[in-house]
Amino acid sequence: MLSFALGIGTQNTQGDWLEVYYPAPLINPEASLTEAAAKALNAPGGNAVVSFLPEHCAALAAALREAGHGDQAELAEHLAASQRPLVATFLAEDTPPQNAAEVYLKLHLLSHRLVKPHGLDLNGMFGLLRNIAWTNEGAIDIEELPARQLKARLEGRALSVDCVDKFPKMTDYVVPTGVRIADTARVRLGAYLGEGTTVMHEGFCNFNAGAEGPGMIEGRISAGVVVGKGSDLGGGCSTMGTLSGGGNIIISVGEGCLIGANAGIGIPLGDRCTVEAGLYITAGAKVTLLDDKGQEVRTVAARELAGQPDLLLRRNSQNGRIECLTNKSAIALNEALHAHN
pLDDT above 80 for 330: no
Q: Are 224 and 243 in contact (CB under 8 A)?
A: yes
304 catalytically annotated: no
* Helix axes 57-66 and 70-79, enclosed angle (nearest 10): 170
Please give the average per-residue pLDDT across 55-70, as a whole number: 96
Do domains 133-165 and 173-338 share one topology? The answer is no
Please give the average per-residue pLDDT across 185-200, as a whole number: 97
Average pLDDT, the chain: 93
Residue 327 pLDDT level (bands cut at 50, 70, 90):
low
Q: What is the pLDDT of residue 246?
A: 45
Please give the average per-residue pLDDT across 57-67, as a whole number: 97
Give the C-alpha separation, 51 to 88, whole Å.
6
Domain extent listing, the chain? 3-127, 133-165, 173-338
Q: What is the pLDDT of residue 332?
A: 41
Q: Does domain 173-338 have CATH number 3.30.70.360?
A: no
Q: Bigger pLDDT: 335 or 186?
A: 186
Q: What is the pLDDT of residue 241?
A: 83
User: Which contacts (CB < 8 Å, 24+ apart) does range 74-83 have?
Assistant: 75/6, 75/23, 75/24, 76/6, 79/6, 79/8, 79/54, 80/54, 80/55, 81/54, 82/8, 82/54
Q: Are 268 and 308 in contact (CB under 8 A)?
A: no
Q: What is the pLDDT of residues 227-285, one digit of tens each?
A: 999 999 999 999 998 744 445 678 999 999 999 999 999 999 999 999 999 999 999 99
Q: What is the pLDDT of residue 285?
A: 96
Q: What is the pLDDT of residues 133-157, one digit of tens each?
A: 999 999 999 999 999 999 999 999 9
Q: What is the pLDDT of residue 331?
A: 36
Q: Are 264 and 280 in contact (CB under 8 A)?
A: yes
Please give the average per-residue pLDDT across 183-209, as a whole number: 97
> Residues with Cβ < 8 Å from 190, sequence gap 6 or more?
106, 107, 110, 111, 167, 170, 206, 207, 208
What class does CATH assign to 133-165?
alpha beta
Q: From the candidates 202, 212, 218, 276, which is the catalytic residue?
A: 218
Q: What is the pLDDT of residue 287?
A: 96
Its pTM stands at 0.92
Please give the average per-residue pLDDT across 15-22, as a whole number: 96
Residue 315 identity (one-letter amino acid): R
Pick one of 3.30.70.2010, 3.40.50.150, 3.40.50.720, 3.30.450.20 as the CATH number of 3-127. 3.30.70.2010
Report CA 63 to chain centroid distance, whole Å: 34
User: Other CB atoms closer than 10 Å to residue 13's CB: what's the count?
Assistant: 9
Q: What percent of the chain has pLDDT over 70?
A: 94
Q: What is the pLDDT of residues 75-134, one digit of tens each?
A: 999 999 999 999 999 999 999 999 999 999 999 999 999 999 999 999 999 999 999 999
- Residue 251 sits at φ, ψ, to 5 deg, of -80, 135
Give the C-alpha separation, 183 to 185, whole Å.
6
Judging by DSSP bridges, how do beta strands 197-199 and 180-181 pair with one another?
A: parallel
- Residue 2 sits at φ, ψ, to 5 deg, of -70, -50
Q: What is the pLDDT of residue 295?
A: 85
Q: What is the pLDDT of residues 285-298, one digit of tens each?
A: 999 999 877 888 89
Residue 287 identity (one-letter amino acid): V
